[in-house]
Structures are given as structure tokens and as C-alpha cells.
Amino acid sequence: MADIEFNIAKGMIAYYGGQAGTGNAALILVPMEASGLETDATLKDYDTLAAILASTNTEQTTMGRKTITSVTVTVDDTNDRVDITFADPVWTSATGNAVGALVLCYDSDTTAGTDANIVPISKHDFSVTPNGTDITAVKSGTYVLRAS
């Protein structure tokens, strides 16, 4: 498996990143249990977080979702791309089942929306077994997502 972009989000990454932190909009990281996690080829076709969770994929709810509102969107005209980044999220005293991936989603309304309204943007391989210590999801490189 590898990091992927969901088909529904291609071409919208810069928009979603720019909306995070405005009004009630945010990016949300959802830890997914390693057990039952579908292949990238299957995952990328889901259009909502609800659809992802309705299949064999299971959210690791003990660690919980991370809401990310401080997002930096950098337009790089020299290289014809947009980089989206945010601080490495930390789950404090994390416990629960093993995690196999993090799904980054866009929620246009964190106060009233449901999983059916949350758009999956990307899936990042992230293998960890929580053991009560802090877990930090450290991004590789200088960006979380790149649209080019």
C-alpha cells in the first residue's frame, strides 16, 4: 500500500486546504485500524468518510480524530504546484487497536456535519500499535499534500 489521493478530491486539494480554519471548516485526520483496511485501488473510489466506514474499514476510535485548522497553502509558481502543510499531529497517551493508515478529510462544517458530508482527500500509510505513550504522525518531506 502507499499514500493515495481519493478520486473525489483530485483538483480540489488546494481549495480544501485553503478553507480549513475558515468558519467551521477543517481538515480532519482519521486513524484507520490496520485490520480490514482495504487496498488503495478500492479506497480511492470512496466519495465520503461514511462510505469508507460502511465497508470493511474500521476507524480507530480510541485514539480519536484530529481536527486541523492551521493549514498552510503555498502556491509555487516556479514549479507549477501547490503545497499543503500543517504541524505534525500528536495523540496523547494513545491506546487501542493497531493503526494502518491515516485518512485526511475535509469537513465543511465541523459543528453540524456528518460522516456523509466529510470528503476524503488522501490516505497515508501509518503503521503503529498504541501502547499508552504519545504518538506523533511525522510527515515525510516539507509538505503533507502536493497538487501539481
Distance CA 108, CA 22 (A): 9
Summarised one tens digit per residue, pLDDT across range 6-28 is 776 767 878 888 888 888 899 99
23-82 pLDDT, tens digit per residue, is 889 999 999 999 999 999 999 999 999 999 999 999 999 999 999 878 888 888 888 888
List the grid coordinates of 103: 485518512
Alpha-carbon span 64 to 81, nearest angstrom: 32
Spatial distance between the Cα atoms of 35 and 124, rounded to a whole number of angstroms? 15
pLDDT for 30 equals 98
Which residues form the domain of 88?
4-147
Could you tell me where the beta strands, DSSP code E, fall in 11-64?
26-33
Number of domains in the chain: 1
Lowest-confidence segment of 25-34, 99-108, 132-141 by average pLDDT: 132-141
